[in-house]
Amino acid sequence: MSVRTTHLDAEVRAAMPALGAAAKKGLGDPALAEPVQIRASQLNQCAYCLDMHLPIARGQDVPERRLDLLSAWEEAGDAYTERERAALALTEALTVPTGGTGPAASGGRFVPDDVYRAAAEHFDGIRLAHLIALITAVNGWNRLMVTRRIPPGSTEW
């Protein structure tokens, strides 16, 4: 399996990190940002992004158990707070808006009212707007990396 292309416009390369940085700054919760980005990358099956975000999460002392159970967070009992669960449910709904046969129980066509309401209970308007932006940004990275088949760990992308 080899890379398909490493072409990417210089301005796109600059604007993507600007989007992610603005989202993370406004969310103001690095320990939450990593699990959100990892869960989206799992759903989109982006090896490059998983390889990148898991070590960052470990470096930020996100508990190992919280990373291990991420793909089954809905059944993971008390491993996650209600706030984290609300963010993960929003992540799944917003990653699978096509209504496909994807694995996300909370995904599938639009963002359901109960998913949105739960997120709005735990995040004020500004933080919620930035959480939505963060989920959107990682979905963007996932698309750029998977489509161009950038191998995990590659320094040329």
Partner 1 sequence: MTTNGTDPAPTAAAAPHPGGTAYHPEHTPRLEWAKLAPEVYRAMARLDAAARKGLDPVLLELVKIRASQLNHCAFCLDMHTKDALAAGESAERIIQLSAWEESRHFYTPKELAALELTEAVTVLTEGFVPDGVYENAAKHFEEQELAQLIAAITVINAWNRFGVACRAVPGHYRPGQHA
Cα separation, 135 vs 129, in Å, equals 10
Q: Which amino acid is at 41?
A: S
Selected binder of partner 1 within 5, 60, 71, 81 (CB under 8 A): 5
In the DSSP assignment, the letter for residue 118 is H
Complex with partner 1: residue 23 or 62, whichever CB lies closer = 23
Total residues at the site for partner 1 (CB under 8 A)? Answer: 56
Cα separation, 114 vs 7, in Å, equals 41
Asked if 39 is part of the footprint of partner 1 (rule: CB under 8 A), the reply reads no
Enumerate residues 97-156 that contact partner 1 by CB under 8 A.
97-104, 107, 109-111, 116, 120, 125-126, 128-130, 132-133, 135-137, 139-140, 142-144, 146-149
DSSP string, 6-65: ----HHHHHHHHHHHHHHHHHH--HHHHHHHHHHHHHHTT-HHHHHHHHHHHHHTT--HH
Give the residues lining the site for partner 1 (CB under 8 A).
4-5, 7-9, 11-12, 14-16, 18-19, 22-23, 25-26, 43-45, 90, 94-104, 107, 109-111, 116, 120, 125-126, 128-130, 132-133, 135-137, 139-140, 142-144, 146-149
